[in-house]
């Protein structure tokens, strides 16, 4: 039973590694999990972090999540290794879900398309290595893989365009804020002074 579980987990984790998320989590929880090997041996995983990873895994692939839970019972050491290594990617997806639910759903579709590419690739390679005489089956698998590659590339390009648009929106907002602060230089300085000293807004106080 362990080998099928490991095979599917490896496939999904390979998918997570291949696809760049574009918006990775910058939360303190994720940063806390960026551990060195020595730290990972001595620091227990926070239960909340594990639960969060499993929650995202459930949305990504229900079989993946179920097999992770099974692995937790069958091989806790391997389970912890996987969570430490892939947890930031999973929590990155969780952060993306909170920040942009629509893009999160599109990212899940892209991940699943890539998982299908990996599955077909493995099946085709096995067929070519073990049954090269089955040319009809090999040709059929090649056609399926070619079609799935087209689907995956379509999702990737669409999502990349969405990321570009989000970045452009952020740049537009940043430029506007920078321009305002430049035009209101003294006001910004006084507001920051008031914030640091806890004395309230001197400009507003003067107006009153």
60, 78, 99: which is the final residue of a domain? Answer: 99
- Do 128 and 50 share a structural domain? no
Overall domain count for the chain: 2
Nearest-angstrom CA–CA distance, 131 and 2 = 26
Mean pLDDT, the chain cut into blocks of 10 residues (208 residues total): 47 44 33 37 73 79 80 83 77 78 84 86 94 94 95 91 90 94 94 86 50
Residues 89 and 113 in one domain: no
Same domain, 91 and 106: no
What is the torsional sign of CA 65, 98, 114, 24?
negative
Length of the chain: 208
- For 198, the domain range is 101-208
| Together in a domain, 90 and 77 | yes
Residue 36: CB partners within 8 Å, gap ≥ 6? none
Q: Give the up-direction half-sphere exposure of residue 100: CA atoms within 13 A in the CB hemisphere.
A: 19
Per-residue DSSP letter, 46: P
Which of 74, 99, 124 lies at the terminal end of a domain, its last residue?
99
Judgement on whether residues 77 and 132 belong to the same structural domain of the protein? no
Q: Of 51, 70, 99, which marks where a domain is finished? A: 99
Judgement on whether residues 142 and 163 belong to the same structural domain of the protein: yes
Residues 41 and 106 in one domain: no
Instruction: Give the DSSP letter string of 156-171.
Output: HHHHHHHHHHHHHHHH
pTM for this prediction? 0.56
Do residues 30 and 93 touch, judged by C-beta distance below 8 A? no
């Amino acid at each position: 039973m362990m080998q099928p579980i490991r095979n599917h987990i490896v496939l999904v984790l390979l998918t997570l590694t291949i696809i760049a998320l574009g918006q990775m989590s910058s939360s303190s929880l994720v940063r806390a999990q960026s551990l060195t090997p020595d730290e990972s041996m001595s620091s227990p995983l926070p239960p909340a972090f594990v639960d969060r990873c499993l929650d995202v895994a459930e949305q990504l692939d229900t079989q993946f999540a179920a097999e992770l839970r099974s692995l937790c019972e069958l091989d806790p050491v391997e389970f912890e290794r996987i969570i430490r290594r892939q947890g930031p990617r999973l929590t990155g997806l969780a952060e993306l879900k909170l920040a942009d639910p629509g893009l999160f759903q599109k990212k899940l579709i892209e991940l699943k398309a890539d998982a299908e590419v990996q599955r077909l690739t493995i099946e085709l390679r096995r067929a070519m290595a073990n049954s090269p005489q089955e040319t009809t089956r090999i040709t059929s698998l090649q056609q399926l893989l070619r079609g799935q590659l087209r689907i995956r590339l379509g999702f990737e390009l669409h999502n990349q365009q969405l990321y570009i648009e989000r970045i452009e929106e952020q740049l537009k907002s940043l430029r506007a804020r920078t321009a305002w602060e430049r035009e209101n230089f003294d006001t910004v300085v006084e507001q920051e002074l008031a914030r640091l000293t806890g004395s309230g807004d001197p400009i507003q106080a003067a107006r009153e």
